[in-house]
Amino acid sequence: MRIELPALFDGTPPKLIPVITDINRYKFVLLTGGRGGGKTEFLGRAIEYWGEQKNLKVCCGRETLDSIEQSVHSTLSRLVSKYDLNYKVTKSYIEHNSTGSKIIFKGFKEQGRANIKGLDDIDILWVDEAEQITEETLRIVTPTIRKDNAIIIFSMNRLHRNDAVYKRFATDPDCLHIHINYDENPSCPDVLKEEARKCRERDEREYMHVWGGEPREQTDDYLFNVKKLDAMLTNVPYGDVLKHQRIIGFDYALQGNDLCAACVMDRVSPLHWKIIDIITWSDPDPDVVQGKILGIIAEYRPDLSVIDIGGMGYIPFANLTKTGLPVYAFDGSKAASDNYTYQNERAEGYYELKSWIDKGYLILDPKFKKVIPEMEMIKFKYNVTTGRRQIQGKLEMKADGHHSPDEVDSIMMAVRGAIHYLGKTDQADVMARGTIKRVSGRRRWQQTQIMLM
């Protein structure tokens, strides 16, 4: 079927035409893809085309908006000039001179708080760079757009696998989802095609993200590589276990809406440890926590336990030490062993966990795979004063709209226990009795040291 569109849509990628023809069938539109696909240019034209047909109130929003230059204002004003459209362009809004349609620009987060003022009468919400939208923002903004027949449009180049917008809308039957790349855009300039070609020659993975619209394996400020995290589900232990050992890491809830968590981890080979259980509870009362820890230790009988002593956590730890149980304190805020590299013990512990995951030492039972998205959200940075590495704090994560990584913290503490607190006597005993045996022309470690990094 041939469709006649105004000159405003000359050069529009055919793949995007359903946004114009089928828009009334959907409540949401999601455009994904890499650079050069024409998503922003097309949506700018569509918004201004719809605004010429009838009076509409349109909001172009982003997670944060420090200045109008960060918005799509420049794209829209350029189109007005290029096609001589009947819009009045000001520094803060764009308004149609005949229909009265008005386009405004907004950041959804101001000083860490949601800013939804003026969104309840919006006809069209266009969220550009939607890969930056957090789950918290999405939960607040989406139900605010409640006017009859209102439409929410997202455009994005995916950042990571758990982008909040992609997770929520990519498979929603009420959402028109179209993925488009530069090679599907007949109007993509030759200069961009050449950039894409050079990028592919340099780095295939970078090409697939920037130009193919695929999420990164590891973004610049996120700690873990997602493929390495997935590998925890399929890692296979090899070599005989000379000495069975078990460690439990206990994370103490920082605030009432956090969870206390325990990770139970067993040695399953000379190199490998397996997470066999993750237990959570919500009551942070020190007496409750102490009783819970005692119960878990009694049930699982670990060789040692590592207990978070942050906040009120020191109270149950101090009481448990009186029992003679092998318990060790974890204080995320204290100086790291490697004080030159890491800002504190928490940062050092997380990099130790990263090292184990990267080397394939950690095995995760698939029934606990829900911790992988939590791990993907953990960020690191360099302290501006000391230059040391540090991990984003729980309060900062919540401000970004992510959950507190309580279960991951307990895993990190268990790994730290294996690295730092397993007895040297045990290690020396195993090493003294370790041997190398030749099997089918290959060397195989039957027994090896307990502590491996």
Q: pLDDT category, 219, cuts 50, 70, 90?
A: low
Residues 190, 203: Cα–Cα separation, whole Å: 20
Q: Looking at residue 118, what is its pLDDT?
A: 73
Percent of the chain with pLDDT over 70: 88
Q: For the ranges 84-93, 239-248, 396-405, which has the lowest average pLDDT? A: 396-405
Q: Looking at residue 400, what is its pLDDT?
A: 62
Judged by DSSP in three states, 291 sits in helix
What is the rounded average pLDDT for all residues in the chain? 85
Domains of the chain listed by start with CATH number:
7-210 (3.40.50.300), 226-445 (3.30.420.240)
Tokens of 303: 């060789």
The DSSP secondary-structure symbol of 394 reads H
Q: Is the pLDDT of residue 425 over 50?
A: no
Q: Looking at residue 311, what is its pLDDT?
A: 73
Q: Beta strands of 216-333 (E only): which ranges?
A: 246-251, 260-267, 273-281, 304-308, 327-330
Q: pLDDT category, 432, cuts 50, 70, 90?
A: very low
342: Cα separation from own chain's centroid: 22
pLDDT for 144-202, tens place per residue? 998 999 999 999 998 887 788 998 999 999 999 999 999 999 999 999 999 999 999 98
Can you give the three-state secondary structure of 158-209, one letter per residue?
CCCCCCHHHHHHCCCCCEEEEECCHHHCCCCCHHHHHHHHHHHHHCHHHHHH
Q: Is the pLDDT of residue 453 over 60?
A: no
What is the pTM (predicted TM-score) of this model?
0.63
Q: Looking at residue 381, what is its pLDDT?
A: 85
Contact 328, 441 (CB under 8 A): no
Q: pLDDT category, 399, cuts 50, 70, 90?
A: low
- Nearest in space to 133 (alpha carbons), one of 166, 176, 106, 180: 166
Q: Is the pLDDT of residue 427 over 50?
A: no
Q: For the ranges 164-168, 277-281, 333-337, 385-389, which has the lowest average pLDDT? A: 385-389
Q: pLDDT category, 28, cuts 50, 70, 90?
A: very high
Report the pLDDT averaged over residues 119-135.
91
Q: Looking at residue 217, what is its pLDDT?
A: 66
pLDDT for 160-176, tens place per residue? 877 889 989 999 999 99
